[in-house]
Structure 1
Amino acid sequence: MSSDPTPQINTSIAHSARVYDYWLGGKDNFAADRALGDAMVQAIPTLPVMARANRDLLGRAVRYLTQKAGIRQFLDIGTGIPTAGNIHDVSQSIAPESRVLYVDHDPIVLAHARALMASRPEGRTEFIMADLREPEAILAHPTLEKILDLDRPVALMLVAILMYFDNEDDPYTLVRTLLDALPSGSYLTITHPTADFDPESTGAAVAAATQAGIKLVPRTKAEVEKFFAGLEVVSPGVVPVLSWHPGEANEWPADDPNSVWYYAGVARKP
């Protein structure tokens, strides 16, 4: 794990990772986080269900990548506060030799990073403090070389993270820089919120986040698909999370797959 000292954590200001933890029913959140979480739920009452459905999608994607794609290495950027069903929990339950490098720039995640270290002895997990805005620094980090072999396929996991980057951040170039460093046979997994299904309610939730100082950028289906340009997208394509391989888990069944306003996609680098 990174030897960087843990910076001070301001619990009086809402934080996106802790708000997400609140929606998931976690305990690592404070009054400011719960206030923002509740304000956003006023705009979109089903947000906690959406957050849990997004988390469930992560598990389905990891199972697919481990079982069907044969992936044994994962690079997870924007890890967030650990909770049940972390990537190594799922992947190593299928292939104990799986290796996972978790990346986050957030001191809150660093404070909980030891929960990410419970690797099976056959595999390995590690956490580094780094920022998606600096992909070259992630790729050059000495811990990455110790955990991941970039001559073998790697699954790049960007789950519910790109929504914090607007067009000025050029997220497409950030993702492409990471993919360019990975070999053929690697995979990209993305989940991303959208306003496609209810622009008005989504706009109200974005406004609440903005007022609390949190950038939140929903994207259209076409904008999410653009992240997968040049890749072989796994069937059924970029779809609402409840529609991505729903037969493999039914934790959050819904008559309307569009009731969870996140898109999901998994694609292979040729």
Structure 2
Amino acid sequence: MDIKNFVLENEAHVRQNKRLYKILDFLSVTLFLLLVAVLLNIGDLFKLIPFLEPYVGLSPDIPFFQIRYDTIILLFICAGVTYAALYLYRRYRSKIYIWVGKVPPKDENSFDIMERLHPELKDRLRTAYDNLEDNNVIAADLKQQISKDIEGISGKELMNKKKARSGAIAVAVSGILLLAIFFTGFTSPIDPASEITRRLPDFSVDRPDVDPNNNTTVNESASSVAVGTPPISEDPGIDIDVTLPPGSGFGPGELLNESDNKTFEPSKYYPPESLSSTHFYDTLPEGYADLIKNYFEKLAETS
């Protein structure tokens, strides 16, 4: 088997596997964060944001599937947090392991993985690949032996099946639980928005002349009159005459004197057919057609 093609194929498999690991890590962490956020009703916090408040609790019109707009926003937020966390972890992984007192894991390439899986190729495969252009006796003999040893070895062996399986299980479990929540609408009774609102300081202005217990005026020196209550008397036992003197005001007869001099002129007669609307009869409310027709027939008879 050609050594160069074997190594290039292995490197391609390793790149694909690493890409798969990253996708599984991203999906598993994102779905887990979204699951926790949905269970704790974190989406209700959007009620405190004016331009997001109208969408809280509403969901797109999707049959048999209840996913709210605030859940969709949470999905993007969880995805952004996961991406940032994984990026920082991969960039500062060595420092993190050193900080916790552990040895950083080695980033294995195709040679490292193949030599770990097949100890008989240790150092020999790498040496043969580095000396592909050499034609001396030692290099030729090594390449010939390595070509026989790599026969029947597949690049699929380079996948870390345990890591891929655990990532797939985490994605599947989180996804199934989220689907169950979306279909059933089940969440915890926790209401973080109300809790935060309750803990916020009260910015209402305290009025010194208002009793907060019964909302009545407590300042005795202030004189005020309730709306709608006539100021008859503030001293008990004293009667006050509240009748109007003769000749004051306007009586109903004076208001009608001008209209009594006019004669009543009835309006002209119009046949009901000229005032009827075809469109009206075509759009009668369902169940009331006979009642409305009967009403207008009686009206035409008496006009």
Q: Normalization by structure 1: what TM-score? A: 0.20
Greater share of helix: 2
Is the strand fraction higher in 1 or 2?
A: 1
TM-score normalized by the length of structure 2: 0.19
Tell me: higher relative CO, structure 1 or 2? Use CA pairs within 8 A at least 6 residues apart.
2
